[in-house]
Structure 1
Amino acid sequence: FTMENDSTQNNNNGHDLNVAIETDDTTDLIWYDMDALLGVDDNDASNDHDVEGGRDNSHESEASSSKAKRHKAKQILALESLFQSCSHPDDETRRALGTKIGMDPQQIKNWFQNKRSQNKLKSCWDENREIRSINTMLQDENFKLRQRILEQSCFSCHCHMSPPQQLSEKQRLLIENARLKEQYLRAQATLRELTRGTPRPLVMPSFIVASDGNGTDTTLLLQHAERAMKEFQELAAAGAPVWLPSIDGDVLNYREYTTGVFPGMLGPCPQGFVSEATREAAIVWGTAADIVGILTDPGRWSEMFPGIVAAVSARDVGFSGTLSSRDGLILLMNAELWVQSPRMPNRSVKFLRFTKMTANGQHWAVVDVSVDGVVGQEGEPRAQNTRCRLLPSGCLIENMGGDYCKVTWIVHAEYDEATVVPLFKPLLRSGQALGARRWLPVLKRQCEYKGVLKNFPAGDGRKGVMEVAKRMTASFYAAISGPVTLPGSRVREWRGAALPVRMVIWNCAGVVPGHPDSRVLSATTTVWLPSTQPCVVLDYLRNERRRGEWDVLARGAAVTELGYIITGNVHGNAVSILRPNVTDDGTNNNKILILQEACSDPSCSLVVYSPVEKNVTLALMRGGNPVTDVLLPSGFAILPDGYRKIPHASSSSSSATSTSTAPAGGNTTSAGCLLTAAYQTLWSGPPADDNLAAGAFDAIGKQLCNAIESIKAAVGAEVIIPA
């Protein structure tokens, strides 16, 4: 953990790459006219003593003085034929051939020497030509890389970036030292895993079959899960034309799907529903057994995806495999899924999760499918009209070795679009809200986070800081999407000059882990920034020199990064401790520091921060216990707007591959973003005090609107549209 300006993060986007690949023209081989040499009857051949054993030849001087003449075509044909079978004939073979074609044995020896030299030179010349071709290709690639560096553009999204700060030699050495230490700790962890021995088999509850509580025969659930597994595996293995490639991944061709071999397990799509089907693949840190362990444990699954899973309950239905592993495990799950915006209602879904192992534990399949038509309540028809249902979805996991695995994720869902705010419809249809393009990037980023956390030993201050930051981010998700549905919450909408802000007074006890019984005022709002890419907004929010433009904790000034922990492979994914540069008394002796986590993946970017007392922070960094005080995180969630065009085949009105028309006032010539801002503070008064609430609502509402206006001006957005 780097402290007090020892090192700063630097986007070393290849700026040290200044490799010039030179062309050495002196390496060109000289091409001799060997045909003339081979066609001379008595020509001067070199004494190939190393090849022919260094024997003295009595005919050498006589052959040298002979008049040059070309061999006959029959002679050359015979010589070529022998050379193909034997390139070093002995004396007896040369005499026999000479008698046959009318040539002296010494002439035959010279011809073979010249032929071997010709082949050797030709091979060198071909190799040199190939090397020159490769050199030209590398020069072109080097030129393009240097041009990209000079343009200061991001290699992933091609956005313009500010030039990085030059690092001193001391800073370079500190960064290199941190990298080597990380490798050393990773190697130690791997060694401990290898010496720990064979893991014990998983102990599962002692059951084989069970009732679902609604009188549903477990056999029906097993058959339903098996059918879903079969369809999912066929869908995962299919290529074009079932899946159509797009910029971000694969989308399902519904015409091929509905007219193909897929059975349509849940029947026709209900009236007013739309379909969303996306597929994504990536290499993820962790073994297949690790990923399966997370997906089959509801608690760990919810913890792994805090920005997607709001709540989950599950119970075991049965096994179709053995009890010694998760192979064949079937869970009946109820889940609440959310998107980071107060304008998006939570999505409820009830489904079976079926886990199956193939290829001796190297391949796993985890499949989800809704139980519509299979499970029903007492006195109700089993085919219920839910607002969302999952067709066979899930992931295929393949071990790749070296603690990595390949994950292929598919989400195929049908949902009632009438419940969706118009501004969010393109995002949902693109699969970046609750589709494969959301689940898999989050899994990859969270696995990287856990990998970093795992490398820190117990008692390490960095481990404690990361655990607190993890809890802070979970609290931020709950503040954006959770309070409205809680009993006892008071919800109001405050309208400023242009933006509506949702105000909620709620009790965070039992909702966020580690929070005591406290009432909190949460203010949230969502706006659309057309044609403003998410990475532009994220770079501005992470700019320490301009933080005072929008953060009241910075008191209008810049902040200093006291230290940071890199949490992933994406530049900027880090947990930081910041210090405002000014205080009330004009000194730099701040009693309040800022704990911040910034993270980004293709589906979402976050900047979450919370004030923390300085003495608590220092104790935590020295290896103390994680803080138990209330963390009141504020911050920003930046989502893509979903208006990027994707190729699709014509289909029914329920197809999700069609692209919606942009609302009036928006320019969709390039991708924009949906920005959600949230601010929280403790509520000390009674929730029913209207006068106190009105004053607090005005203060916080104006503060949030000012932050949005500062972001709009900084990123050069022409217009902001309230969601």
Structure 2
Amino acid sequence: MLRQENEKLRAENSLMKEAMSNPVCNNCGGPAIPGQISFEEHQIRIENARLRDELNRICALANKFLGKPISSLTNPIAIPTSNSGLELGIGRNGIGVSSPFGTPLQMGLDLGDGVLGTQAAMAGMKSPLGLMGNDVQLERSMLVDVALAAMDELIKMAQGDSPLWMKGFDGEREVLNHEEYARTFNPCIGPKPAGYVTEASRETGIVIINSLALVETLMDANRWLEMFPSMIARAVTLDVISNGMGGTRNGALQLMHSEIQLLSPLVPIRQVKFLRFCKQHAEGVWAVVDVSVEIGRDASNAQPIMSCRRLPSGCVVHDMPNGYSKVTWVEHWQYDESVVHQLYRPLMNSGFGFGAHRWIATLQRQCECLAILMSSSISTDDHTAALSQAGRRSMLKLAQRMTSNFCSGVCASSARKWDSLHIGSLGDDMRVMTRKNVDDPGEPPGIVLSAATCVWMPVSRQRLFEFLRDERLRSEWDILSNGGPMQEMVHIAKGQGHANCVSLLRANGVNNNANESSMVILQETWTDASCSVVVYAPVDVPSLNVVMSGGDSAYVALLPSGFAILPDGHSSSGSNGNVGSKGGDDGGGCLLTVGFQILVNSLPTAKLTVESVDTVNNLISCTIHKIKAALTLSS
């Protein structure tokens, strides 16, 4: 075998020598006249012709898939001399990226075994867009170009002294200077579709997480979803174009799909397919940028397949001492405002619905929670002293599933399969859905009905949240309280404030007997600068005892109900957060989402009836009426 391989190499060597001794004219295909051109110059001309052909094909692909040519491709493309990766920042596509951190940005992107454009680099790679043959190479080059332009835009928009931002009328919230933005950037994903409105925001915060841990979280779809559970309904990595360089996330590029939600049935979920690109800009300084790719839409079709687009958005992370980091977040969307209910348009227009301050607030709250739960010290609170670490983990996991199911019932994400009901007797502010559970042990078997609605409340968000989470006042609105105050049996802290916690509640006078089949209430409450939530579900005591002893919580059946409280968009609180991490008073009014899930019938052959829908509708209406009456009387 070695002899055969040696003979093969000798034959190839002879062919190469012959080719070198007889250069061919690139124009006519005939033999080159000796001395007319050097062999090196001849090879350069061949390479230039190949690059021109590649350039034309990339522009054609850009027209086909993005609906526009990539204008920067008209600039010369510098060919890298290293085989260790593609140094994209050195002249590629004319993107000269200057660093706000005082050092040039080395935009290296390792795409595999060699330089992009060689067969070795592209061998075995599949196409994110479903292309075949040589188009795979060009398609990936096009995606890299979009990612680089997005990173350049994010870095410039994140700079603290950037003229791209100016103070709003309230003197606190930053507003995008659209004229300056239009002068600075060429849209990397094409012009804004007709009828779309623009939403842009920026926020900076200190977070208990270091840059490497945050980058790993953002680049892993499952960990990203767990970090932002109330915001992200579903996240999937569709294709990994680059894993990064040197065993790190530096230069990682992937194609993703996500569903981003606001806890209201009146605001549709934002489904977006996007590129996520990660880059280390300096020691302890990372950036992660997202940008929509409207793939699968014919350029001649004026109607996009999505109702929103995410322009370059993401975060720049600076490491700080003691494991903290400074995170600057930028959110930039274009969306169809006509699908948003009038009640929520002020919140959307203010940028607080899907804006940067919501991402920062959620990140701060979740990282604080993780820091507390990872602490080796157990709370000295009498309510939690009896719980082991395994029992605490099982309780928290059960509460996490409860809150996730509540969000899916309110927002109708594809994370759970719901069937929407359209009944004439219900208003357009009420969402009613149903699903038949057969084999999910986390829900009771039978037909489950979910109903949710929203209402404006003439009280501050903090006041409403404190009222709903107070177990002593629960009898004023909750039929599960048996007409009296409730008592907190277990309290597991998830934040510095008493409001962020998981707790067990029972009606006063009920004996805490492990053999008793009475019900207790599992409840999770949290609040931050963007939202406040109270979610609860009745759970039978025997099942809960298994969880509290550290057993598997997946087999505990529960149906969650609860409340989400959002700003109304008219309050004076800015992105710096008059509404603090403890749910500070934002004055004025707020928006209350009420959601209930109930078991209609446990029989496998059962069918949904109009009476069942009327029952849950009346339950929601009665609950809202009681809350309004109690808050009015107390004032």
* TM-score > 0.5 by shorter chain: yes
Output the CA distance in 2 between the equivalents of 1:318 and 1:383.
28
2:314 paired residue number: 394
CA contact (8 A) 1:595 1:612 kept: yes
Residue 340 in structure 1 maps to residue 268 in structure 2: no
Residue 652 of structure 1 aligns with which residue?
none
Tell me whether 1:471 sits opposite 2:401 in the alignment. Answer: yes
Instruction: Say whether 1:293 aligns with 2:216.
Output: yes
- Say whether the 8 Å CA contact 1:490–1:687 is kept in structure 2: no
Q: Which amino acid aligns with 1:424?
A: Y
1:704 to 610, 620, 628: 620
- Return the offset for 1:484: 8.7
Alignment-mate amino acid for residue 610 of structure 1: A
Among 531, 552, 566, the residue aligned to 1:604: 531
Q: Quick one: structure 1 residues 513 and 294, their matched pair in 2 at CA, closer, same or farther if it must change by over 3 Å?
A: farther
Q: How many residues are paired up?
A: 485
How far apart, CA to CA, are the structure 1 residues paired with 2:225 and 2:558?
20
Q: Is the Cα–Cα contact under 8 Å of residues 603 and 639 in structure 1 kept in the other structure?
A: yes
Counterpart CA distance in 1 for 2:341 and 2:128 is: 35
CA distance in 2 between partners of 1:304 and 1:338 (Å) = 14
Matching of residues 245-264 of structure 1 within 5 Å: 245=167, 249-259=173-183, 261-264=184-187
Quick one: which amino acid aligns to residue 711 of structure 1? Answer: I
- Alpha carbons of 1:713 and 1:593: their partners in 2 closer, same or farther (altered >3 Å)? same
Per-residue Cα deviation, 1:87-133 (whole angstroms, up to 9, x for no partner): xxxxxxxxxxxxxxxxxxxxxxxxxxxxxxxxxxxxxxxxxxxxxxx
2-side partners of 1:485 and 1:619: how far apart? 27
Task: Report what 2:327 is aligned to.
Answer: 407
Match of 1:134 in 2: none
User: In structure 1, the residue corresponding to 2:320 is in which secondary structure?
Assistant: strand
| 1:490/1:504 contact within 8 Å kept | yes
Report matched runs for 1:52-451 at 5 Å.
Answer: 210=125, 211-215=127-131, 217-239=139-161, 241-245=163-167, 249-259=173-183, 261-319=184-242, 321-360=244-283, 362-372=284-294, 375-376=295-296, 384=304, 386-451=306-371
CA distance in structure 1 between the aligned counterparts of 2:358 and 2:292, rounded to whole angstroms:
20
Output the CA distance in 2 between the equivalents of 1:675 and 1:711: 11
Distance 1:635 1:357, change over 3 A: same
Q: Tell me whether 1:635 sits opposite 2:565 in the alignment.
A: no
Gaps of 5+ in 2: 1-109, 114-120, 379-387, 576-585
The offset of 1:499, in angstroms, is 9.6
Whose radius of gyration is greater, 1 or 2? 1
Quick one: distance in 2 between partners of 1:514 and 1:596?
16
| Distance in 1 between residues matched to 2:505 and 2:219, nearest whole Å | 38
Aligned-pair CA distance for 1:313: 2.2
Gapped regions of structure 1 (runs ≥ 5): 1-203, 649-668, 719-723
Q: Partner of 1:59 in structure 2? A: none
Is contact 1:608–1:635 with CA below 8 Å preserved after alignment?
A: yes
Pairing partner for 2:435 from 483, 487, 506: 506
- 2:419 corresponds, among 489, 496, 515, to 489
Find the residue that maps to 2:565 and give its secondary structure: strand
Given the alignment, which residue of 590, 609, 612 partners 1:693? 609
Partner-residue secondary structure (3-state), 2:354? coil
**Partner residue in 1 for 2:87:** none
Query: How far has the Cα of 1:274 moved from its partner?
Result: 0.7
CA separation of 1:508 and 1:479: change in aligned 2, threshold 3 A: farther
Task: Decide whether aligned partners of structure 1 residues 696 and 377 sit closer, same or farther in structure 2, where only a CA change above 3 A counts.
Answer: closer
Q: Which of 644, 661, 680 is the equivalent residue of 2:597?
A: 680
| Rounded Cα–Cα distance in structure 1 between residues aligned with 2:544 and 2:472 | 22
Identity %, equivalent residues: 37
User: 1:486 and 1:449, CA in 2 relative to 1: closer, same or farther beyond 3 A?
Assistant: closer
Distance 1:331 1:627, change over 3 A: closer
Q: Distance in 2 between matches of 1:468 and 1:483?
A: 20
Separation of aligned partners in 2, 1:300 and 1:286: 14
The Cα shift of 1:390 comes to 1.3
Could you say if the C-alpha distance between residues 290 and 488 of structure 1 is closer, same or farther in structure 2, counting changes exceeding 3 Å?
closer
1:316 deviates by 3.2
| Structure 1 residue matching 2:601: 3-state secondary structure | coil
How many angstroms does 1:488 deviate by?
6.8
Query: What is the CA–CA distance in structure 1 between the aligned matches of 2:536 and 2:432, rounded to whole Å?
Result: 19
Matching residue of 1:130: none
Instruction: After superposition, give the CA deviation of every residue in 1:151-190 in whole Å (9 maximum; x if it has no partner).
Output: xxxxxxxxxxxxxxxxxxxxxxxxxxxxxxxxxxxxxxxx
Deviates more, 1:216-225 or 1:234-243: 234-243
Q: Deviation of residue 326 (structure 1)?
A: 1.0
Q: Distance in 2 between matches of 1:221 and 1:394?
A: 17
**Aligned twin of 2:582:** none
- Residue 160 of structure 1: aligned partner: none
Distance (whole Å) between structure 1 residues aligned to residue 144 and residue 111 of structure 2: 18
CA distance in structure 1 between the aligned counterparts of 2:288 and 2:225, rounded to whole angstroms: 16
Which residue is 1:181 aligned to? none
Residue type of the partner of 1:258? A
For the residue of structure 2 that corresponds to 1:412, the secondary structure is strand
Aligned to 2:57: none
CA contact (8 A) 2:444 2:602 kept: no
519 and 625 in structure 1: CA distance in 2 versus 1, 3 angstrom threshold: same
1:351 and 1:499 map into 2 onto residues whose CA distance is 32
Distance 2:249 2:414 in 1: 37
Q: Is the aligned partner of 1:480 residue 2:410?
A: yes
Matched, 1:715 2:631: yes
CA distance in 2, matches of 1:244, 1:716: 40
Q: 2:464 and 2:442 mapped to 1: Cα distance? A: 31
Counterparts of 2:112 and 2:438 in 1: how far apart (Å)?
A: 35
CA distance in 1, matches of 2:397, 2:111: 30
- Contact 2:544–2:556 (CA<8 Å) still a contact in 1? no
- Supply the distance in 2 between the matched residues of 1:453 and 1:646 (Cα, whole angstroms): 31
Q: Secondary structure at the match of 1:572?
A: coil
Whether the 8 Å CA contact 1:483–1:504 is kept in 2: the answer is no
Letter in 1 for 2:271: S
Deviation (angstroms), 1:514 = 4.8
Q: Which amino acid aligns with 1:528?
A: W
Residue 545 of structure 1: aligned partner:
472
| Aligned counterparts of 1:717 and 1:427: Cα–Cα separation in 2 | 28
Distance 2:148 2:434 in 1: 46
The separation in 2 between residues aligned to 1:294 and 1:441, in whole angstroms, is 16
SS state of the match for residue 402, structure 1? Answer: helix
C-alpha change, 1:484 and 1:567, in structure 2 (3 Å) is closer
2:447 and 2:606 in contact (8 A); partners too? no
Q: How large is the RMSD of aligned CA atoms in angstroms?
A: 3.4
Code of the aligned partner of 1:707: T
Task: Give yes or no for contact 2:329–2:356 (8 Å, CA) kept in 1.
Answer: yes
Distance 2:633 2:339 in 1: 29
Q: Deviations over 1:651-681 (max 9, x none)?
A: xxxxxxxxxxxxxxxxxx9542111111112
449 and 230 in structure 1: CA distance in 2 versus 1, 3 angstrom threshold: same
Amino acid at match of 2:456: W
Kindly tell me: are residues 582 and 285 of structure 1, through their superposed partners in 2, closer, same or farther at Cα, counting changes over 3 Å?
same
Query: Is contact 1:214-1:377 (8 Å) kept?
Result: no
* Corresponding residue for residue 28 of structure 2: none
Instruction: Write the distance in 2 (CA, Å) between the matches of 1:484 and 1:359.
Output: 39
Q: Report what 2:521 is aligned to.
A: 594
